Amino acid sequence: MRSYSILANYYDALFVDEESVNLWADFTCLHKKKGNMLEIAAGSGAISEELIKRGIDLAISDLSMDMLQIAKEKLGERVPMYTLDMRNFRLEQKFDNVICFNDSLNYLLEEEEILSCFHCVYEALNEGGVFLFDMHQLSRLEEFSEEYVEEGEVKDAEYQWTIVSDDDYLCHHLTFWNAAGEMSEEHIQRVYSSEMIRECLRKSGFTYEVYTDFIKKEEEDGEKWYFVARKGNLC
């Protein structure tokens, strides 16, 4: 699983853009059920902040306390926050919606971890509750078969970000140079077939629909699949 002890300080400046945040929020508002919501792997709270602006009763969680601290600076004390491992969690409160975006589920490196996460989400939902999430398509492996390199400046540092695929995995390496010296983090994601994800949803008790890149119903070539899963039958 990812650490983000270094990256947390640079995450928003490096990765967050308003257009993508609004697209995730639009997708959520289109498919959510009326009621409260839990965001798992919420990270720095960029999507969370937009959803709260749209009037959603939201709680957030992440495994990284560093990222949750960044989220707390945005959202203040008004939003419940939990330090949770999405592979194995249980909350006393039930939710009408659970969301997990920005390919966060691809950080689960074993099929058993995906299945365990889906079981936990299923138990966290009220009957008829909705689970919204996205995952990389297999085409991303081909896209990064040759190493991608991005370099520049962000906040107080120069940085280099590389991505390369290795078998089923996407390997991200980030290095930052600032006045304190050199700092590096590596993040590994696994890209799964849609068939495997569908089977894990079925095993967990979900019914589902699949979209491609937010708006295309069913599976087409693109960057990500977007799943709308329900505890119970889809309406």
Q: Is residue 219 over pLDDT 70?
A: no
Spatial CA neighbour of 128 closest among 25, 227, 34, 225: 34
End-to-end CA distance of the chain: 35
Tokens of 72: 């707390």
Say what the pLDDT of residue 101 is.
97
How far CA 161 is from CA of 1, 23, 82, 127, 154, in Å, comes to 18, 24, 29, 42, 12
Q: Does position 1 have pLDDT exceeding 60, yes or no? A: no
pLDDT of residue 129: 97
Angle at 210 (CA atoms; ends 219, 113), nearest 5 degrees: 110
Residue 3: pLDDT over 70: no
At 214 the pLDDT is 80
**Residue 62 or 1, more confident:** 62
